[in-house]
Amino acid sequence: MTRLNFRPADEAFWDESDLDREYRRQLDVCHTCRLCFNLCPAFPDFFSRIDAVDGKMEMVTRSDLDSFTDLCFECKLCDLKCPYVPPHEFMIELPRVVLRARAIRAEKHGVKFGDRMLGDTDRLGQIGARTAPLANFGNTNSVSRYLMEKVTGVDRRRLSPRFNRPTFGQWLAKNRPPVPAEPRAKAALFYSCLVNYNDPSIGKALVAILDRNGVEFVAPEQKCCGMPAMDGGDMKAAVAKAKFNVAHLAPLVDRGYDVVVPSPTCGYVLKKEYPDLVGTADSESVSAHTFDASEFLVKLKRDGKLESTPRSDLGEVSYHLPCHYKAQRIGNKYGELLRGAGAKVKVVDKGCSGIDGTWGMKKDHYEMSNEVAARMLEEFGASPDSEACTDCLLAGLQISQGTGRKVSHPLQLLAKAYGLTY
């Protein structure tokens, strides 16, 4: 066994007593180690609780475990720092335990209305895109934000992503470049909800770069990766989305296409979670052939198939390395690409942005989210004249809100280096 059982199709996944034993087993290891004491609010909160009972795990209450479940925002940084992750015999994977706990709680008590809304990003995105001017006005109007806070739990102070019409998918259907006569590679784009409904310019930049480099690409029918649904405990909805995506991606993988993703969270979920969420050979195949967009471009570069970008005047770039990018354990491919394009790259890597899907958007966590982001924002403040950059759109919102700066995606800067318009 290389990972813990995280298959919702297995009856044992939904066993609340088994979850309780596993939760306590893992946290018992964690409190004797404490390398994660400063990564997020969940660990220091739990350590204070178990210290109050002299380290006796049997005295930890259900309320203590629920607090950890609520305070974890699934950044995955503990997985990166932990010396006991699989295949170590201790098998510590707390983020997966938390997702399982949320799923069992939702199965028992129902998914909260706000979580159900926020977890259905396709429905929200479709409505927002169709009514973009009105939706964007509502996202900045104090009265509508107050009502939104009451209905969804999203803090009225939180900067929200703008909606775009047409969506990226609609734009691509009318602006697809011709297929190269002799393709250098083949890519199936999993472009993500945020690119599709909120910032199609990122997808357009990727299309322009792929076209410039002779990559044949397709954009199959797709749904949200499922992470927002898992955040709210709606595991059944997440599994349904995962099965849909695997069904549309696997045939393309069989035909030699790599799945290319410009969003770190979606890439993480397709790579790391789909094999268990779906549990088929097709999901394993999709996982093995999924690449972050930067990872795919560097692969082309190392195979001699990527055109060199001109030594452009990108100047100094402050690049925030997102948590879910790091969790894929692929290094810093955007840093390599941007340096190759002539940029002076400063990697901003002090902690998380504190948004993490829907967690940092909510009123309950708004202040904690800002505290988590403080170290990251301080680094951006130390380089006020640099280009602010990250490939996580939600982290970009936090940076914009905390610094007032415009934030670019690395793909947009690479397209600029190529001199491409999109």
Q: Which pLDDT band holds residue 357 (cuts at 50, 70, 90)?
A: confident
Average pLDDT, the chain: 94
Residue 371 pLDDT: 94
pLDDT tens digits, 67-114: 999 999 999 999 999 999 999 999 999 999 999 999 999 999 999 999
Per the CB < 8 A criterion, the answer to whether 299 and 291 are in contact is yes
Beta-bridge partners for 291: 260
pLDDT band at 23 (very low <50, low <70, confident <90, very high): very high
Distance CA(1)–CA(86), nearest Å, equals 8
* Beta bridge pairs of residue 217: 187
pLDDT in tens, 228-262: 999 999 999 999 999 999 999 999 999 999 999 99
pLDDT in tens, 289-342: 999 999 999 999 999 999 987 767 789 999 999 999 999 999 999 999 999 999
For residue 95, which of 270, 290, 230, 238 has the smallest C-alpha distance?
230
Question: What is the C-alpha to C-alpha distance for residues 339 and 353, in angstroms, rounded to an integer?
Answer: 23
DSSP conformation class of 309: P
- 142 pLDDT higher than 80: yes
Bridge partners of 319, per DSSP, are 347, 389
Which residue ranges does the chain devote to CATH 3.40.50?
316-418
Q: What percent of the chain has pLDDT over 70?
A: 99
Sheet holding 290-292, edge to edge: 215-218, 185-189, 258-261, 290-292
- The burial class, CB within 10 Å (0-12 / 13-18 / 19+), for 196 is buried
pLDDT at 374 over 70: yes
Whole-number pLDDT of residue 395 = 95
Question: Per residue in 257-291, pLDDT tens?
Answer: 999 999 999 999 999 999 999 999 999 999 999 99
Q: Where in the chain is the domain with CATH 1.20.1050?
A: 168-302
> Looking at the domain 168-302, which fold is it?
Glutathione S-transferase Yfyf (Class Pi); Chain A, domain 2 (1.20.1050)
8 A C-beta contact, residue 325 and residue 264? yes
Please tell me the number of Cα atoms within 13 Å of 83 on its side-chain side.
5
Q: Is 408 helix (H, G, I), strand (E, B) or coil?
A: strand
pLDDT at residue 311, rounded to an integer: 65
**Model confidence at 421, in pLDDT bands (50, 70, 90)?**
confident
Q: Please, what's the largest Cα pairwise distance for the chain?
A: 69
Residue 65 predicted with pLDDT over 70? yes
Q: Three-class SS of residue 161? A: coil
Look at residue 351 and tell me whether its pLDDT is greater than 60: yes
N-terminal to C-terminal alpha carbon distance within the chain: 47
Query: What are 33-63's pLDDT values in tens digits?
Result: 999 998 999 999 999 999 999 999 999 999 9
Number of other residues whose CB lies within 10 A of the CB of residue 406: 10
pTM (2 d.p.): 0.94
| Sign of the CA dihedral with 233 first, then 236, 239, and 240 last | negative
Contact status, residue 216 vs residue 179, Cβ threshold 8 Å: yes
Reply yes or no on whether the pLDDT at 2 is more than 70. no
Distance in angstroms (rounded) separating the CA atoms of residues 75 and 359 = 10
Give residue 356's pLDDT. 82
Q: DSSP letter at 154?
A: B
From the number of C-beta atoms within 10 Å of its C-beta (0-12, 13-18, 19+), residue 391 rates as buried
Pairing of strands 258-261, 290-292: parallel
Residue 6 has pLDDT above 60, yes or no: yes
Cβ-based neighbour number of residue 358 at 10 Å: 25
Give the separation between CA 26 and CA 272, rounded to whole angstroms: 20
Residue 1 pLDDT exceeds 60: no
Q: What's residue 388's pLDDT?
A: 96
Cα four-point dihedral sign 278, 282, 288, 290: negative
Establish whether the linkage from the previous residue to 322 is cis, with ω within 30° of 0: no
Phi, psi of 362 (to 5 degrees): -85, 150
pLDDT of residue 412: 97
Q: Is the pLDDT of residue 216 over 60?
A: yes
Q: What angle do CA 122, 142, 391 make, to 5 degrees?
A: 45
Q: Which amino acid is at 307?
A: E
Selected from 3.30.70, 1.10.10, 3.30.2010, 3.40.50, the CATH number assigned to the domain covering 316-418 reads: 3.40.50
Compute the distance between CA of residue 279 and CA of residue 144 in angstroms, rounded to an integer. Answer: 42
Query: What pLDDT is stored for residue 278 in this prediction?
Result: 97
Burial class (CB in 10 A: 0-12, 13-18, 19+), 86: middle
Q: What distance in Å separates the CA atoms of residue 370 and residue 355, rounded to the nearest whole number?
A: 9
**223: alpha, beta or left? (left if phi > 0; alpha if psi -120 to 50):** beta
